[in-house]
Chains A and B, each alone.
Chain A
Amino acid sequence: QQQVKQSPQSLIVQKGGISIINCAYENTAFDYFPWYQQFPGKGPALLIAIRPDVSEKKEGRFTISFNKSAKQFSLHIMDSQPGDSATYFCAASVRGGSEKLVFGKGTKLTVNP
């Protein structure tokens, strides 16, 4: 049973547009929700993360929106740039449990010039 469902599988956005990637989870014990960014030929790297005590976290052009009641969270990339083209993974875990981190299946984002 997939614990974190991510959509869409792929996304094409024009430069300057908004990219939105969605994730949903079932386990209400999850309390840490990171997003990882992976460029071709590289390993994933932490982009931004949120805990459920806040509904939104923003870092530059990247924003996580969190809806605890709906058990959903999303990544918004404002003013998308070609350099943002990468695969994005959402994930979730229980507090302190790096080994319990469950990843979504990933979204391949392409930002066209």
Chain B
Amino acid sequence: DADVTQTPRNRITKTGKRIMLECSQTKGHDRMYWYRQDPGLGLRLIYYSFDVKDINKGEISDGYSVSRQAQAKFSLSLESAIPNQTALYFCATSAHSGGGSGANVLTFGAGSRLTVL
């Protein structure tokens, strides 16, 4: 089984619909992230969480919300999807920062491709 599992892997929806993308991890990492990937734009951080009670906005949080249900689960919601949210979404995890180089290593899931019509 994958260390970081994302569901669904593919989703097609219509404008205005509520969508939830789910992420679970078996790495035992404290830190979880949601990124968005668009062709030619690289990876952009949407939200991140350092523990269950900690939620932080990233570079492009508008139109998105998240929930950290447990240490191992982090979900991303689009309350009212719009076409420009069509993208590939990645969940990632990392270990608690202790200053060592390993703390900066992100482990990504396989991605969730979302299409908003």
Mark B residues whose CB is within 8 Å of A.
4, 31, 33, 40-45, 48, 50, 56, 58, 90, 92, 94, 97-99, 101, 103-111
Contact = CB atoms under 8 A, between A and B. Distances in A.
A101 interface: yes
Contacts of A46: 105-106
Interface residues of A, number: 25
A99 B101 contact: no
Closest 3 A/B residue pairs (Cβ): A43-B108, A105-B42, A96-B97
A36 B41 CA distance: 15
A51 B40 contact: no
A23 to B, nearest CB: 11
B76 to A, nearest CB: 15
Contacts of A103: 42-44
A9 interface: yes
